[in-house]
Chains A and B, each alone.
Chain A
């Protein structure tokens, strides 16, 4: 690990290249993992209806044919708020029985929040809500969280409610400037970011018996059969493209990957899948596999292992670079409690609320001023590269591929050949 230490002058930024382990002592991994599996293989099972069911999904409007559902824009905030999010993406209290953020929101607005960790991968969740959205029906969700490319796709399809600016004044004021003005929604008409994060390499240092630094470490023979990659091309193909770029086999950066590049990446990965080196393609359920020791090294999302992994689980921003993305809050068309969803958007953009959330889940907050609040309370956390990636890391962070629907289908064909189904 010496080369990196020599390169980086300030001791603190070493953390960026070196392994990041978790700070607090938790044991959430197995629980999170279990719900992850249930969602993962539920597929059709865990469809639109939130788990607690019945009264949460009122009958769709009688019109059927894409009739805009009359939602009270200026009216009262009514509940329950049906909130679909990813695992390991909300703060928890000490015994992990409740979430302070959600409790405070419920206390402040007097409505119930039905928070369900139902999103494992963007594609799976899209498939569960798309038929309802296409038919102009209520999905049963009031607030969902999807990554940039998938959020953009929903907006393109016209499947997202507009957010009334009057109801989200805190959010409008506090969202970080670099997150404004995106091509697919320049004026924040449809979305507000939930968190940003990176895709990099996670490993269990006891199992690997050494510190890892690069994407190439995923393919070390010593880890055969104990490696998992994220499913889909957005994370794994983007990250591996950086490795191939380093080797001179690909010239494009991840946002500009072509089908030809994707083919090269697929050809590179195929032998590792055939030999059993790569055991599986996963969503968030890698947390469970790290917990049991079935996975030693994996392509992972930056905050998960820190918030919900074990003592010896580490995350690195690889030397070749990493992938940066933002998950965005959207109100799906026909949501029954739109006003409550807007209240939640505004609530998590309060600086103190945002700081509490980021400090627990270890992702990058989209809220201005969070750094100051955290710095005032916890200097160690303020230096954590998961929450505040240092400059040498951000210089090598790239966005995910931005593809048309047709390109997306072609990329997904390669993915399905690679993943075996």
Chain B
């Protein structure tokens, strides 16, 4: 018996992987092959499909890209903004929990995950209520502060969609960030401080101002915040946004970022940044619930098109083609992103 095991020892890892591989083969490869065949087919559910090898409609792919380019842009812009916002909100949160959480760490982490105990759908619908006409958000900015006219609606704006996405996927950002920050060896930070890694006032102010200004402009333009007030994004408004963002970013950068953080903690947390932004970006770019419930016809994302093509028009070929294009785009984006961040940091090699 012992001899038998010894002889086939090399096969053991493969045996252990077998259930996983079989699972992937059945539930990943098979459906994807089916989808690939659909993406090269013609027809709809009602008229019947002509599938390969009877036809090879490669035209489905360029056709889908041209026709739904607007939806692709929406997806990338909203998904990207949601990921950036998740990072800006999530990094300080994860840092705080990891470095200052003390004995409340577990409780704080639990609170981060707590929203997952309710349904995704219910949480998005509750955002409709928060942002809705009777909701607290408009209650403050419209009724109390009078910043917007009476018929102003937050629901239907890109702001609502990006807000919803940011909220839904924040835990996906916080948890990986927390894991990588938690692993940072405090002695390295102390050593850096001993070695004259002091405050980073000028660099922090400049970097913060640049980032803050850029983000504010991106938000202002990307969200088209003012479209329902009847104004477009005028240069004046963009300049104002840039000024406010730069000031806020500069203050934060100058007062809160130290050399030790910049040179030790941040690089060591990059694997978390990478994992967190991938985990946030991928689901948010393909999401359709937020755009459906919080958006308007102009803010529909590519997920909405795929859902509509599959489930309303019964146009499986176009839907399948779009799904593959999305998959390819995401793969390329991740590849580029991994190259930019550097694979060594991602595997924690330098730590």
Number of A-B contacts (CB under 8 A): 119
Please determine whether B297 and A127 come into contact, CB atoms closer than 8 angstroms: no
234-249 of chain B: CB within 8 A of chain A: none
Q: A293-B133, A296-B151, A421-B71 are in contact. List 20 more A-B contacts (CB 8 A).
A: A34-B125, A38-B121, A41-B121, A42-B121, A44-B310, A123-B311, A130-B45, A134-B45, A157-B46, A222-B151, A225-B228, A274-B298, A276-B227, A279-B155, A280-B156, A292-B129, A294-B128, A294-B133, A406-B47, A416-B309
Please determine whether B132 and A225 come into contact, CB atoms closer than 8 angstroms: no
CA A281 to CA B299, docked complex, whole Å: 12
* Nearest B-chain residue to A123, judged by Cβ: B312
CA A127 to CA B313, docked complex, whole Å: 8
21 contacts between A and B (CB under 8 A): A41-B124, A43-B307, A126-B314, A127-B312, A130-B46, A273-B297, A276-B227, A278-B296, A278-B297, A279-B296, A292-B129, A292-B134, A294-B133, A405-B47, A406-B47, A416-B305, A419-B308, A420-B298, A421-B71, A421-B305, A421-B308
- Interchain nearest-CB distance for B180 vs A (Å): 34
Q: Say if the beta carbon of A84 comes within 8 Å of chain B.
A: no
Please determine whether A294 and B297 come into contact, CB atoms closer than 8 angstroms: no
273-323 of chain A: CB within 8 A of chain B: 273-274, 276, 278-281, 288, 292-294, 296
Q: With A41-B293, A294-B153, A405-B46 as given contacts, are A124 and B132 in contact (CB-CB < 8 Å)?
A: no
CA A134 to CA B314, docked complex, whole Å: 13
Please determine whether A43 and B311 come into contact, CB atoms closer than 8 angstroms: yes
- Interchain nearest-CB distance for A46 vs B (Å): 10
* Nearest A-chain residue to B299, judged by Cβ: A420
CA A131 to CA B45, docked complex, whole Å: 8
Q: Say if the beta carbon of B304 comes within 8 Å of chain A.
A: yes
- Interchain nearest-CB distance for A54 vs B (Å): 20
Please determine whether B44 and A409 come into contact, CB atoms closer than 8 angstroms: yes
CA A278 to CA B295, docked complex, whole Å: 12
Please determine whether B45 and A226 come into contact, CB atoms closer than 8 angstroms: no
* Chain B residues in 8 Å Cβ range of A224: 151, 228, 230
Q: With A41-B289, A134-B45 as given contacts, are A225 and B153 in contact (CB-CB < 8 Å)?
A: yes
183-235 of chain B: CB within 8 A of chain A: 227-228, 230
* Nearest B-chain residue to A34, judged by Cβ: B125
Q: Say if the beta carbon of B41 comes within 8 Å of chain A.
A: no
B binding-site residues for A, Cβ under 8 Å: 44-47, 70-71, 121, 124-125, 128-129, 132-135, 151-153, 155-156, 227-228, 230, 288-289, 291-293, 295-301, 304-305, 307-314
Please determine whether A419 and B132 come into contact, CB atoms closer than 8 angstroms: no
CA A178 to CA B186, docked complex, whole Å: 83
* Chain B residues in 8 Å Cβ range of A416: 305, 308-309, 313
* Chain A residues in 8 Å Cβ range of B296: 273, 276, 278-280, 420
* Chain A residues in 8 Å Cβ range of B305: 416, 421
- Interchain nearest-CB distance for B323 vs A (Å): 13
State the main secondary structure of chain A at its contact with B. helix
- Interchain nearest-CB distance for A355 vs B (Å): 36
* Chain B residues in 8 Å Cβ range of A292: 128-129, 132-135
User: Which of A40, A225, A416, A418 counts the most B-chain CB atoms under 10 A from its CB?
Assistant: A225
* Chain B residues in 8 Å Cβ range of A126: 314
Please determine whether B71 and A420 come into contact, CB atoms closer than 8 angstroms: yes
* Chain A residues in 8 Å Cβ range of B299: 420
Q: Say if the beta carbon of A128 comes within 8 Å of chain B.
A: yes
* Chain B residues in 8 Å Cβ range of A388: none
Q: Say if the beta carbon of A27 comes within 8 Å of chain B.
A: no
CA A40 to CA B121, docked complex, whole Å: 11
CA A61 to CA B309, docked complex, whole Å: 30
